[in-house]
Amino acid sequence: MVSSFLTSASTAGFTWRKSSFSGAQSNCVEVADDVPGIVPVRDSKNPHGAALLFTTNAWTAFVGELKRDGFPTI
C-alpha cells in the first residue's frame, strides 16, 4: 500500500538503484534502499518527479509476490 509521496527536493540525498536486469533503457522503476522504515520508488524516466513511499513490509510483500508469480529477477 502506498502511504505517501515525496517531491524531488525531498529525495535529493537518496541513492537510487534499478535492477541490473534493466539494461540501459530508462523505462524502469528505481528504489532507494538507504531510508529507514520506508522504500521510496520513482520512475526512471522522470527522476525529478515525485517518489512513492512504501513501508518496508509492503515493499517486501510486493516483491515477494512478484518473485513467487514468475518474476524471479526482481
The verdict on residue 73 lying in a domain is: no
pLDDT tens column, 20-31 = 777 676 678 899
| pLDDT of 3 above 60 | no
Per-residue pLDDT band at 8 (split at 50, 70, 90) = low
- Predicted confidence at residue 32, as pLDDT, reads 92
| 7 occurs within a structural domain | yes
Q: What is the pLDDT of residues 31-73, one digit of tens each?
A: 998 889 889 998 888 888 888 889 999 999 988 888 887 765 5
Q: Which residues contact 14 (CB under 8 A, 6 or more apart)?
A: 32, 34, 35, 40, 51
Asked if residue 6 is part of any domain, the answer here is: yes
Contacts 24+ apart (CB under 8 A), 25-30: none
Domain that holds residue 22: 2-68
Q: What is the pLDDT of residue 47?
A: 85
Residue 74 lies inside a defined structural domain of this protein: no
Residue 17 lies in a domain: yes
Question: Looking at residue 6, what is its pLDDT?
Answer: 63
**What pTM did the predictor assign?**
0.72
